[in-house]
Amino acid sequence: MLDSDLIFYNLRLNPYPMKIKISKSFTPYPEALIVPIVQNEGFENALTKMAEWAGVAPELMLADFKADWKEIATLYPTGKTDLKRIYLLGLGKDVTAPKVLTAFRSLSYRLKSKLPPRTGVSFLRMEQTDQVVPWIEAAVNGLLLGQYDTGQYKTEEKKPQPLFTDGAELGIYTTVDVAAAVEKARAVAETQLRLLDLVNAPANKKMPRTLAEWALESGDRYGYSVEVFDGDQLKELGLHALLAVSQGSESPPAFLVMEYTPADATAGTLHKVGLVGKGVTFDTGGISIKESAHMHMMKSDMAGAAAVLGAMELAARLRLPVHLIGVIPATENSVDAKSTKPGDVIGSYLGKTIEVIDTDAEGRLILADALAYLNRNYQPEVIIDLATLTGSVIGTLGYHAAGLFTHNDELAAELTRAADQTGERVWRLPLWDVYEEDLHSDVADLKNYGGKPVAGAISGAKFLEVFTENHPRWAHLDVAGVAFTDSEFSKMRSATAYGVRLLVEYLSRL
């Protein structure tokens, strides 16, 4: 049942109330028309014709607008047309769906309050490419996401953006059938928007229970089951590692198990995929406390969980033909007299004992329980976990790619293909057994930290591997660098909803 007191952030149940109309021609004219321009051979001729038609000087326009990626030019037609505004949007030369998405998101962000209630986008000149459907999907997703506003807790009254209000209409002009792609783009953007709010929410407005409430509400609305284990149930289930991480927190932990099967599914014909997301609502480091400079960003240490929530919601909403199980261990990692101390030996769901060398390596502890629980209770064909697991992966790949760990070449290829399509980069790192020595403990079955400041992302992955019990199709994504980053869309680092589109793309291709 929903306890609205626990939902501290805006739930945004209907974030984009405007209509989206797909049509073959732009009559009646919208108040503004966005025209994406690919920098291909002959684009200048086409622009010259457009300039003549609009009654603006072609030479000046071509001198000023080069169709570079994300470049915008505004034309105010004076010719015999009712069209009052044209926004040319450059897509550059080597166009890909991720670049289309960023260009549209950037335009939407930059023209925020300017796009009028009837704005259209013409893809009529882009239909020669076989990529037009994914490009339109990317464009719509970008346009919607560009409206995201990080100022959730500002008290000044927010003016609704004219195009994104009730009664407004976004026109998509194309002769290709893109209804499903447009609906998908809208659904994905809505989920992403709500997850951006959730990941950006500070820890005093987002507790483990809040993640549970989010899942319950979403499951209710889109038709998937959500079971929330808490209190004594966690001990009964044997989630000892999760309990060890949470024991220093005022806010109680929760263990979420979600399951979706399409209504019309014939049993046994579907692929069974299990997802696990790290749900640390705040990571102080525990007794091995973090330095303060960047600690505030550890409100985003549940971004892996957010990606799993998003994938569950969208699988159900888009009725993807897959049997999907999502598991989220949710807890804070806090400092207290009751906190787990360095050197403590704890238990785990699998029964293995763990020497906790560093209480800041808490993600692998809670994931150990979640991975083992998922594997033992559901036997998925594929297991994918997402976690803001290590600072080390940022040292390795920076803020542009997630570390991908798997023994399975096929799964690596599938995830990489999906990532290339969505623009959420992944880069494979090794799981060689030589790294296992980092896990050796003299006093317990294994330890959670090797004590060496090298290859930290790999030792983290090696630790998780133990708790998958050598599952043949398991992949771990270390998303520490990509889930909460700098971007052109906010002045401070903020959430990216990394992984949501990647998972949906991967699941859609199964």
Q: Which residues are catalytic?
A: 290, 364
Element (H, E) at 218: helix 208-222
Question: Residue 480 interacts with ligand BES (CB under 6 A)?
Answer: yes
Task: Calculate the CA 414 to chain-centre distance.
Answer: 18
Q: Total number of residues binding Zn ion (CB under 5 A)?
A: 6
Q: Give Cβ neighbours of residue 56 (< 8 Å, ≥ 6 apart).
A: 75, 76, 77, 78
Q: Which is nearer to ligand BES, 73 or 480 (CB)?
A: 480
Best CA proximity match to 278, nearest among 374, 369, 411, 385: 385
Complete DSSP assignment for 378-438:
H--SEEEEEE---SHHHHHHTTS-EEEEES-HHHHHHHHHHHHHHT--EEE----GGGGGG
Question: Residue 360 interacts with Zn ion (CB under 5 A)?
Answer: yes
Which entry of ligand BES, Zn ion, none binds 421, CB below 5 to 8 A by partner kind? none
d(CA 159, CA 109): 14
What mask, x for binding ligand BES by CB under 6 A, covers residues 282 to 311? Answer: -x-----------------x----------
Burial class, 87, CB count within 10 angstroms (exposed 0-12 / middle 13-18 / buried 19+): buried
Q: How far is the CB of 467 from Zn ion (least distance, A)?
A: 17
The structure tokens listed for 402 are 């997630």
Applying CB under 6 A, which part among 184-192, 306-314, 384-392, 464-472 lies near ligand BES?
Answer: 384-392
Q: How far is the CB of 492 from Zn ion (least distance, A)?
A: 20
Which entry of Zn ion, ligand BES, none binds 390, CB below 5 to 8 A by partner kind? ligand BES
Q: Please report the sign of the dihedral spanned by the C-alpha atoms of residue 131, residue 99, residue 304, residue 475.
A: positive
If DSSP codes are grouped into helix, strand and coil, which group holds residue 169?
Answer: strand
Q: How far is the CB of 283 from ligand BES (least distance, A)?
A: 5
Element (H, E) at 32: strand 32-37
Question: Residue 344 interacts with ligand BES (CB under 6 A)?
Answer: no
Q: How far is the CB of 362 from Zn ion (least distance, A)?
A: 5
Applying CB under 6 A, which part among 59-67, 212-220, 314-322, 387-395 lies near ligand BES?
Answer: 387-395
Question: Residue 283 interacts with Zn ion (CB under 5 A)?
Answer: yes
Footprint on residues 391-420 left by Zn ion (CB under 5 A): none
Q: Which is nearer to ligand BES, 7 or 297 (CB)?
A: 297
Footprint on residues 390-419 left by ligand BES (CB under 6 A): 390-392
Binder of Zn ion out of 71, 137, 213, 301 (CB under 5 A): 301
Q: Which is nearer to Zn ion, 136 or 298 (CB)?
A: 298
Which entry of Zn ion, ligand BES, none binds 358, CB below 5 to 8 A by partner kind? ligand BES
Asked, as a colleague might, if the bond just before 208 is cis with ω within 30 of 0, I would say no
Q: How far is the CB of 477 from Zn ion (least distance, A)?
A: 15
Question: 238 — alpha (psi -120 to 50), left (phi > 0) or beta?
Answer: left
Which positions touch ligand BES (CB under 6 A)?
A: 283, 301, 358, 360-363, 388-392, 449, 456, 480
